[in-house]
Structure formats: structure tokens, C-alpha cells
Amino acid sequence: MGSESVDLGPASAHALWRYLLITRRTGDWITTHEPALDAARAVGDVLAEAETLTNPATARMLTGGGVALLHLTQALELSLDRVVAPVMYRVLFRPDGLDTAYARELAAGLVRSADR
């Protein structure tokens, strides 16, 4: 792979991460996932964005890079925004119909966005 830019979407980058982890090719790992992160953000795929944030964060942790914690925090916040925030809104302002089915639907929506 080297230093040239690789334009991969999230699915392609995610398919590579295990290989890049095993071979410790952290530079390539980061290089392939940065464009994938841009692609996920461009189409509004929150789950792909969160997953794509965690992969290069792991690579940066292996090399001692300080950006890793920032990326892991961003991934967590995306998940919280999609599930926890709507539940809290319902608890505070519209508790009618707040049940496990509603929470499951929110979580399923987060997972369904990965299937697109």
C-alpha cells in the first residue's frame, strides 16, 4: 500500500482491518480508514462512522498516537446520540409509550444503518 492515497468506502476498509491488525501495518490501517470515515460521514451512515472511528483509533493506540482517545470518544457519542438521547427525551417529556419495544427499535435502527 505504501504512502499513496487509497480511496475505500467503509465496507472495504472494515474488511481490511483484521489483516492490518495482525500484520501491524498501522500506517496503512490509518490511511485506508480516513477516506472511509469521510465517506461514512458524507452519506450520513452513523454506524459506519462510529465503526470507522474505532478502527484507526486502535491503530493509533498501538503506535502511541494521542488521537485514539478522541476517535473512541466520538464513536461512543454517536451511539449515545442515536439511542440514549431519544430515550432520555421520552423519559423527560413524553413518557407515554416508553417501553422496551421503543428502546429495541432505536437500537435496531442503529444496527439497520449498517445494513445499507
In the 8-state DSSP scheme, what is residue 83?
T
In this predicted structure, what is the pLDDT of residue 84?
77
**pTM for this predicted structure:** 0.50
Q: What is the pLDDT of residues 59-79, one digit of tens each?
A: 777 777 667 677 777 777 877
pLDDT at 18 over 80: no
What the block records as the C-alpha cell of 27 is 500506517
| CB neighbour burial string for 53-77, b if at least 16 within 10 angstroms, e if fewer | bbbbbbbbbeeebeebeebbeebee
The model's confidence at residue 14, banded by pLDDT at 50, 70 and 90, is low
81 or 43, which is more confident? 43
Q: What is the pLDDT of residue 30?
A: 79
Lowest-pLDDT choice from 6-20, 24-38, 77-91: 6-20
